[in-house]
Amino acid sequence: MAEPFDVLTPLVTPFDADGDLNVDGLESLVRHVSAAGVDGIVPCGTTGEFETLSPGEYRTVVRTATETAPEDCRVIVGTAATDVATVHERMAFAEEQGADSTLVVPSYYGGQASGAGNEAFFESILADAPLPVYLYNIPGAVGQELSVETVAALAESDAVAGLKDSSGDLPYVTAVMNQTPEDFTVYQGHDGLFVPSLVLGGDGGVSALSHVLYNELERAGNAVANGDVPEARTVQREVLSPLSEACAEYGFAPTVKALLADRGVIDHAAVRPPRTELPEDAVQTVTARL
C-alpha cells in the first residue's frame, strides 16, 4: 500500500530584493515543487502573503501558477476576501485560468462571527461557486474558528470539496472527521500534525515544508499507510516537527523563503511588511535543522 494521501504546496510568492513580484522566480518555484512530486499547489494562500498583493499582482500569481503547473499537478487557488463579491470575482478568474478548485477562509474582519453568520457567508459564496471549494480554518490568522458544526453543515453542499485545517488542534480535526461524510477531504495545514492527522484518517497535508521536504513527507505518509508507526513517528519527531516549530517561531513565509534561498531555488528571501526576513543567526539555525 502506498500514497493514499496528498501532499500539496502552499506556494510562497517570490519577491526580488526591492520587494517587487518576481514572476520568473515563481515559475521556477512551481517547476521545482512539481518536479519533486507534489500532488498540487496552492497559490495566494497564507504562506503566499496574498494579503500583500495588489489586484494585478494577485492575478499574475494565479495566471503564472496555473500556466506553469504540469497537468498532473492540481491547482487550488486561495480566493480569500472579506466580501462575497470579491471572492466570486477571484473564483471566476481562477476558473478562467484553469484552476481545479479554490480555498476560502471565513471573513477575517469584524470579530468573532456567529455560527449562523459564518454559515451564511459561505452559503452566499457557494451559491455561485464555479469551482469546488475547500473551507479553510486558520483561527490564528482570521481571528475566529470555523466551528465543527458549521463545517458539518457546509459539508452537505455538493460545492464543498473538503477542509484545510491550520488550527493545530487535533481534537478539532477528529471532530470534523467524525461529523462529515466519508468522501469529505480533510487536509492538515500544520506540519507538526501531519502524521497524527494521517493516522486519524486524514487525506494528506497542505504543507509549507513540502517546498523543501517533499520526500520526507512522502516517506512519513507511506509509513502510515503501510502500518509502520515507528518509521512515521521518527520522521515526524526528528524532521517535520523541529522545522515546523521554527516556522511557527519565525513565520512560515520568512522561514520557507530562507530555506529556499539557501538552496538556490529562489533568488531572495524577501517578504513584505508586516512580515520581516529572518535575521542571519535564525537563518543559520533553520538551515542547520534542514
Give binding residues for pyruvate as ranges: 47, 206
Contact, 167 vs 152, CB < 8 A? Answer: no
**Which cell numbers in the block locate residue 83?**
466580501
Burial readout 152-161 (b: 16 or more C-beta within 10 A, e: otherwise): bbbbeeebbb
Handedness of CA 50, 63, 96, 70 (dihedral sign): negative
Annotated binding site: 47, 206
Q: Is 164 a catalytic residue?
A: yes
Phi, psi dihedrals of residue 9, rounded to the nearest 5°: -105, 120
Q: Which of 58, 164, 172, 257 is catalytic?
A: 164
Phi, psi dihedrals of residue 115, rounded to the nearest 5°: -60, -40
Q: Is 108 a catalytic residue?
A: no
Q: Which of 136, 172, 214, 250 is catalytic?
A: 136
Phi, psi dihedrals of residue 138, rounded to the nearest 5°: -145, 70
Q: 274: cis peptide before it, omega within 30°? A: yes
Hey, which residues are catalytic here?
A: 136, 164
